[in-house]
Amino acid sequence: MGEPSGRDRRRAFEPPQDREVFVVPLVIAPEDIDDNRHVNNVVYVRWLQDVGTAHWNARFDAATRARWSWVCLRHEVDYRRPLELGDAVQARTWVGVPQGPRFARFVLIEGPGGIAAQGLSEWALVDAASMRPHRIPPEMIVAFQPHDA
């Protein structure tokens, strides 16, 4: 419920009201530009991972981050418009509904003119020592809810 599928993924993702939207500015480096003079698709995948990691690091202390880790199961990116060197870019991200040890993470990458791409990644929570999957604890879900009172 609340997770897009099939044709729905082509529409712009919308965060549910019960999830925090975390914003990260992105910088396009010269090496991010491909032969077509725009950001290479591999860079978008890196951004999906970097943005999710930034959100995790901002919400959890060092002890929690040492106990738990995330393993990416898949990335999916829909490209809307090219980004070029010098463009101002930001990513907005939030998590979906937990499914046992799994969370879907949604990312909108916005540049001049609106959404440049959107990504959906599926992550599994694992015990950092054993690397075994673990059901996402309720207190972890609370940390990804809006913080404004």
Residue 31 in any domain: the answer is yes
Residue 5 in any domain: the answer is no
Q: What is the pLDDT of residues 22-71, one digit of tens each?
A: 999 999 999 999 999 999 999 999 999 999 999 999 999 999 999 999 99
Residue 55 in any domain: the answer is yes
Average pLDDT over residues 80-107: 96
**What is the domain range of residue 59?**
22-143
Number of C-alpha atoms within 13 angstroms, CB side, residue 8? 8
Residue 139 in any domain: the answer is yes
Q: What is the CA radius of gyration of the chain?
A: 16
Residue 130 in any domain: the answer is yes
Q: What pTM was computed for the model?
A: 0.88
DSSP states of 104-143: EEEEEEEETTEEEEEEEEEEEEEETTT--B-PPPHHHHHH
Q: What is the CATH number of the domain that holds 107?
A: 3.10.129.10
Residue 10 in any domain: the answer is no
- Number of folded domains in the chain? 1
Residue 149 in any domain: the answer is no
Residue 85 in any domain: the answer is yes
